[in-house]
Amino acid sequence: MPINSINHFFIRADDLELTKDFYMTVLGFEVMPRPDFPFPGFWMGTNGSIQVHLGPSHIPNREKYYIGTPEDAVDGQTGVIDHVAFLAEEPNGFIQKFTEKKLSFRPRYFPESHLYQLFVQDPNGVMIELNFFNITDEPEWTGEDYSKMERVSIISN
């Protein structure tokens, strides 16, 4: 059930250990070597590649340590980024983990593309999208069918 590719994204975690545990036990990441930064944190990854950086949200001088975090940055939810997506394999393994851990998730399906997606939030409210390509047998957890959703036109300001 490995995650396949992304470089990395950084999460300012309200609870660093809880967030580390989520990425390890739910998504299958492992702790990777990390430089000796002047603040605590973790680099998480799979298959020898680092994909997620974690650091504590409420620390002194965070705007100096975290390049994308001004002094008045908001916490919680995903902010202006709607979600972070990973390529993944073995969707049934993720469904089983989400169910065991009583995590709410939302499946979606693109029947014409044989693409299934699962959406789940990490402990900080970051929306994680898992994409499973080339699935030809429709599983029980098909979820929303995008081909049947109402279409929206572009709205100009």
Class of domain 9-148: alpha beta
pLDDT tens-digit series, residues 1-54: 666 555 577 888 888 899 999 999 998 999 998 877 778 889 888 888 777 888
Domain boundaries, given as residue ranges, for the chain: 9-148
Stretch 74-89: mean pLDDT, rounded?
69
Smallest Cα–Cα separation from 90: which of 52, 134, 121, 49? 134
Cα dist. 45→37, 49, 67, 81, 102 in Å?
18, 5, 21, 21, 23
